[in-house]
Amino acid sequence: MPPLIATLTLNPTIDIASEARAVQPVRKVRTFNERQDPGGGGVNVSRVVRELGGETLAVILASGVTGRFLEELLDEAGVPRKSIPIEGRTRISQTVLDLGAGQEYRFVPEGPHIREDEWSAALATLDTVGAGWLVASGSLPAGVPDDFYARVAAIAARRGMRFVLDTSGAPLRMALEAGGVELAKPSQGEFEALVGHELGDPARLEEEALKWVRSGKLRCLAVTLGHQGALLATAEGTLRLPALDVMVRGAVGAGDSFLAAMTLGLAQGRAVDDAFAWGVAAGAAAVSSAGTAHPRRDDVVTLRRRIRQVPMSLSLGEEG
């Protein structure tokens, strides 16, 4: 059995997804096909890891009636959890798919303010978790310092856990500068914000990605590119895989599904390029399913078979 994959979600959410024939201002918008999912970066990763056959533990901050509902949804999904109580109420997000226009509207509240004793309790909890991998995913809620994920990385290193990070802005930069990251997964926009300029040219994107992994701060960098696929960089080179052609039914949780499958692949001992391909397959399976992060295991396996692996390229940024 691969080691337990623990996840951390400081700002989880209850995701409500529905469809409407048309989204119009002022007028009442009637929705249907509604579903509720436990959401937030790490929560989604745990759900997908479990769907794909891995062992997981979701560490969450939760409180209030909405927090209890979140816990109920996780219990129904069979996801083991460890809840840290907070004063504020867990947020509720909503996604509406306008069937007429083919557009998806996402409404995401900020969430509660987290007190110092509450985020400190999260760090203390991580120091008790017995896992082989630790995935921290999502933006930091108000009240949490920007170096929080750098502190999480230090705990993971001390306890022998491999640390995976999916965030943006100053928290991403500070964690990478502190070092000890096994895998980071920014989107292209998040990576461009990290480096300070646009990277529209594929060669520039690959060159910049190689600089980061060859700095020794992290082992793997996976940059998700939306409909253009994804880029993987390690010290040995880069690999770009195109997006798989699937019918899109919703994009919420696609990046988390990618991260879950790739992390699980690495935890299972797969080669990094193979784990990356499993991530691409899971992301495609997620966008072809309604709701938040609902790739089905059989669909992921089928889509993985469609990916023809190519050797990682050493043509860019050769050392020496």
According to the 3-state scheme, what is the secondary structure of the chain?
CCCCEEEEECCCEEEEEEEECCCCCCCCCCEEEEEEEEECHHHHHHHHHHHCCCCEEEEEEECHHHHHHHHHHHHHCCCCEEEEECCCCCEEEEEEEECCCCEEEEECCCCCCCCHHHHHHHHHHHCCCCCCEEEEECCCCCCCCCCHHHHHHHHHHHCCCEEEEECCHHHHHHHHHHCCEEEECCEHHHHHHHHCCCCCCHHHHHHHHHHHHCCCCEEEEEEECHHHCEEEEECCEEEEECCCCCCCCCCCCHHHHHHHHHHHHHHCCCCHHHHHHHHHHHHHHHHCCCCCCCCCHHHHHHHHHCCCCCCCECCCCCCC
pLDDT category at 288 given cuts 50, 70, 90 is confident
Residue 319 within a domain:
no
For residue 319, what pLDDT is reported?
38
Residue 126 predicted with pLDDT over 80: yes
Residue 54 within a domain:
yes
For residue 309, what pLDDT is reported?
64
**Which domain CATH number covers 243?**
3.40.1190.20
Residue 314 within a domain:
no
For residue 227, what pLDDT is reported?
85
For residue 316, what pLDDT is reported?
34
C-alpha R_g of the chain: 19
The two tokens of residue 85 are 């109580």
Distance CA 116, CA 277 (A): 39
Burial label, 194 (beta-carbon count in 10 A; 0-12, 13-18, 19+): middle
Residue 272 within a domain:
yes
Mean pLDDT of 148-164: 97
Residue 211 predicted with pLDDT over 70: yes
- Identify the CA nearest to 244 among candidates 284, 188, 215, 206: 284
For residue 310, what pLDDT is reported?
58
Residue 27 within a domain:
no
For residue 90, what pLDDT is reported?
96
Residue 320 within a domain:
no
Mean pLDDT of 104-120: 95
pTM reported for the whole predicted model? 0.92
For residue 320, what pLDDT is reported?
31
| Residue linked to tokens 């896992």 | 131
For residue 226, what pLDDT is reported?
85
Distance CA 202, CA 198 (A): 11
pLDDT category at 254 given cuts 50, 70, 90 is confident
Residue 108 within a domain:
yes
- Specify the length of the chain in residues: 320
Mean pLDDT of 157-183: 96
Roughly what angle, to the nearest 10 degrees, separates helices 188-195 and 202-213? 70
Q: What is the set of active-site residues?
A: 256
Mean pLDDT of 51-77: 96
Q: What is the largest CA-CA distance in the chain?
A: 64
Burial label, 159 (beta-carbon count in 10 A; 0-12, 13-18, 19+): middle
- 234-243 pLDDT tens trace: 999 999 999 8
b (16+ CB within 10 A) / e for 52-91: bebbbbbbbbbbeebbebbbebbeebebebebbebebebb
Residue 312 within a domain:
no
What is the domain range of residue 291?
5-22+33-305
pLDDT category at 290 given cuts 50, 70, 90 is low
**Least-confidence region, from 45-59, 73-87, 303-317:** 303-317
Q: What whole-number percentage of the chain has pLDDT above 70?
A: 94
Those residues whose C-beta lies under 8 Å from the C-beta of residue 210, and which sit 6 or more positions away, are 233, 235, 237, 238, 316, 317
- How many CB atoms are located within 10 Å of the residue 311 CB? 8
pLDDT category at 247 given cuts 50, 70, 90 is confident
For residue 85, what pLDDT is reported?
96
For residue 1, what pLDDT is reported?
63
Q: What is the mean pLDDT of the chain?
A: 91
Please count the structural domains in the chain.
1
Mean pLDDT of 55-83: 96
Residue 312 predicted with pLDDT over 60: no
